[in-house]
Amino acid sequence: MKITPQFIAPLDPDFQPSVLWERQYVETAKASGQAVPLVLGLERENGLVSRFETYVRPAADAETLRYVERTVKFLLWAWGGWKLHFGGPKIIGKYIAKTYSPSGERKFDGEMMALAYGKKFTVSLTSADKVPVEKTMQVAAGGHLKGCRIGFDLGASDYKVSAVVDGTAIFTEEQTWDPKTQADPGYHYHNISAALHRAAAQMPRVDAIGGSSAGIIVDNEIRVASLLRAVPKKDFAKAAGVFKRLQKEWGVPVVVMNDGDVTALAGALSLRKKGMLGLAMGSSEAAGYLDAQGRILGWLNELAFSPVDYNPLAAADEWSGDRGVGALYFSQQAVNKLLPAAKIALPKIMGLPERLKEVQVLMAKGDARAAKIYETIGVYLGYSLAHYANFYAFNHTLILGRVTTGQGGDIVIEKAREVLRREFPALAKKLALHVPDEKARRVGQAVAAASLPEVKK
């Protein structure tokens, strides 16, 4: 099945938006008169469960298998879970169980869920009416602004640190680093520790430290992160415990959360809005979510691994090996992917951050080739926001990160808005896209992170 979007991505004409493909599949299935309910329940830590309900054809035809597999993949990385309660046709459920098994095509995803939750990933086949009821963790987000605080944000190519006094950043710093190639955990510790000391030097005291980091963070420990990709297994526990080590050394409250959740928190604090989906386009795609009550629900929100494109020949993610996932559409990797189609040649030895800078320079000079890159990402974003809205209830989206810096970022946002207005008018009326000012785009997460810890008097 192939769909024809109203907007063709200029440099990626074969882009097949997930939201349109899945909508057409479900509509066709219902029209056939043979559709049956499918309920997917994802169980996480402490018996928490999230549910998704849809309809499928009961036979294991190619389109049905692809639709269900892509939906499961999206839910795993959006919501997370070590156990999938599959309430639908058993022939399809058995296919999913095999696909996500240690020998299946999606073994990466099953293994990552096992690492994140400390339990083997399993698929339990049941009926739609026997999938467990939803049970969601509801944790109040940060917003603690009083006192002298340090906030940091760790990315794959740079890190930021801010000294914040009573909610105002009095010092900010950004440094490049290359953590994903470093096998020595000391590299990560010393860079972070030195940054904290530089920020502390700007204040009379330090009351609390808050952090934002790429990867899956549970109880101030890194469970899964590309930042530690090169660290040997024997040293991983030492690297993963870096934040607890810092807390012991500084003797103040330390709270570190996934960078996507801090993105959403930054939006909520700066805009004073709730029902917020935050998207940061940096070295990868980071996402976070606060519900209408301003609560964090305990979801993974690792949309870098969630599919947004049904094109079977879409670019493959180098880590997971899967095609059409968010990291290749909303990050420096996306810019790099589009360079050949834009006919922009850069030295092979040049890293992704430097390649993005070159494109930004071209954009500032009015280069039409660079503009096409941003227009293409804007098309991606418009369709993907509509896709995300099928799984998240939000009325506000904060867009930030290096890719959105400068004139190119304006093109991305405007093109996304145009796609929403034309293809999804009802959603466009209630969904507001926000961008912070230029300074907040680059350091906003570090400042928001500083508000995470609560200081008890």
State the DSSP string of 363-431.
Answer: HHTT-HHHHHHHHHHHHHHHHHHHHHTTT---SEEEEESGGGSSHHHHHHHHHHHHHHHHH-HHHHHH-
What's the pLDDT tens digit per position in 120-161? 999 999 999 999 999 987 666 677 889 999 999 998 888 999
Q: Which helix (H) or strand (E) holds 56?
A: strand 49-56
What's the pLDDT tens digit per position in 300-324? 999 999 999 999 999 999 889 999 9
- The reported pLDDT for the residue numbered 180 is 87
CB of 451 within 8 A of CB of 167? Answer: yes
Rounded to the nearest integer, the mean pLDDT of the chain is 92
What's the pLDDT tens digit per position in 438-454? 544 444 677 888 988 88
Reported confidence tier of residue 213, pLDDT bands at 50, 70, 90: confident
- Average pLDDT of the residues in 210-222: 83
pLDDT at 53 over 50: yes
- Average pLDDT of the residues in 203-216: 91
Buried b (16+ CB within 10 A) or exposed e, 332-360: bbbbbbbbebbebeeeeeeebbebbebbb
pLDDT at 28 over 60: yes
pTM listed for this prediction: 0.85
